[in-house]
A and B are shown apart, each in its own frame.
Chain A
Amino acid sequence: MLNKILEKISSSWIFFIIVAVLYLILLSVNFPLAKDTFFKFLELLQKIIPVFILVFIFIFLSNLFLDSKKIAKFIGKNAGIKGWLISIIAGILSVGPIYMWYPLLADLKEKGMKESFIAVFLYNRAVKIPLLPMMIYYFGAAFVVVLTFYMILFSIINGLLVDKLLKLKFKKPIKT
C-alpha cells in the first residue's frame, strides 16, 4: 500500500514532505524556534520571488528560442572556448541563490548543455561583482583580486575535473 502511494508521489514531493515533517517536529519540540524559522522562510521566499520570475522568463525564452542545435553550438560538447567563456560570464552575472538556477540548468542540460559548463557556471556564482566592495572592506583589495583570479581559474579546473570524473566507469567485480 505504502509502495503504491510512494510510486504516485514524485521524488520532488517526497523531499518537500521530509522537510515539512522536520518543521512539524521542530514545532512540537520548540515552538518559538519553529516560529522564527517560519518567519525566516517567509522572509527568504519574499526575497526570492523576483529571482524566481527572472528564472521563469529565462526558461520560457530558452524554450522559445533555443533548440538542441543552438545549445550544442554555444554550450554543447563541442562548443570549445566559447562555451567556457559563456559559462564563466553567465555564472558571474547570475543573481540570487544558487538553487534558483537549477531548473534552468536542468532544462539546458536536457537540451545538450555540457556538464562541465554547468559546473563552471555554478562555481563562478562565487564571484559576485556587487559584493566585491563588501569583501574588500573585510579582507582588503589585494586579497580580493588574488582570490577572484584563482576562483575564475579554478572554475575551469573544476569543470574539467567534474567532466573527467563523470566519464569514469567503475568496473563491476568479477564473481568467481
Chain B
Amino acid sequence: MTQSILKESLIKTLNGFKQVLPIILGVIMLVSLSITIIPKSFYESIFTGNKIIDPLFGAIIGSAATGNPITSYIIGGELLAQGVSLLAVTAFILAWVSVGLVQLPAESLMLGKRFAITRNVVSFITALIVAILTIFTLSLLC
C-alpha cells in the first residue's frame, strides 16, 4: 500500500471529522443539559397507575430521556419497587435505548432528516409493541 493512499485516507477522515465535530460536541452538551436539568425523581412522579396510559407515558419519557442504559435500568428498578407496572417500565427502558429525541438533530444532520424521523417514529411504536409482547410472553412462561 502506497504512502499516498494512506495520506489520502487520513486527510479524508480528518476532513469528515472536522465537519461532524460541532455536531458531536453539540449533542454531548445537550445530553449533559438534559441529565442535570431533569432530576431522577421526575420520572417517578409521572406515572399514574393507569394500565393503558402508563406504558405510553413510559415510552414518551424514555424517548425524551437520555444517558447510559444502566441509568434506565436503575430508574426502571426504582419505578417497579414503587408499584409502576412492568409493562410501563419495559416501554420506558426500550424507548430510552432505541429512541433519541435529544440526538435527533445530530441524526438528521448526519443521516438525513427523513431517515432520522422515520427511524425514531418506527422505534417508538416498536418499543410499545415489544413491551406488550415481552410481558405477554412472560405471563405465558411464568
Q: Which of A's residues lie within 8 Å of B, judged by CB? A: 10-13, 15-16, 18-20, 22-23, 26, 33, 36-38, 40-41, 43-45, 48, 52, 56, 59-60, 63-64, 97-100, 102-103, 105-107, 109, 115, 118-119, 122-123, 125-126, 128, 131, 134-135, 138-139, 142-143, 146-147, 150-151, 154, 157-158, 161-162, 165-166
Contact = CB atoms under 8 A, between A and B. Distances in A.
Contacts of B10: 60
Interface residues of B, number: 61
A123 B69 CA distance: 13
B29 A41 contact: yes
A166 B114 contact: yes
Contact of B28 (A44, A59, A154): A44
B30 interface: yes
Nearest to B122: A161
Q: Nearest 6 A-B pairs (CB), nearest first?
A: A16-B22, A126-B97, A41-B32, A40-B32, A138-B77, A63-B9
B101 interface: no
A146 B114 contact: no
Contacts of A150: 130, 133-134, 137
Interface string B2-25: 000110011011001101101111
B85 interface: no
Contacts of B26: 12, 15-16, 18-20
A126 B126 CA distance: 13
A11 B106 CA distance: 10
Contact of A102 (B20, B69, B98, B133): B20
8 contacts: A10-B19, A12-B109, A40-B36, A102-B110, A118-B111, A118-B115, A123-B123, A166-B118
A151 B23 contact: no
B22 A56 contact: no
Contacts of B141: 142, 146
B94 interface: yes
A118 B86 CA distance: 30
B36 A143 contact: no
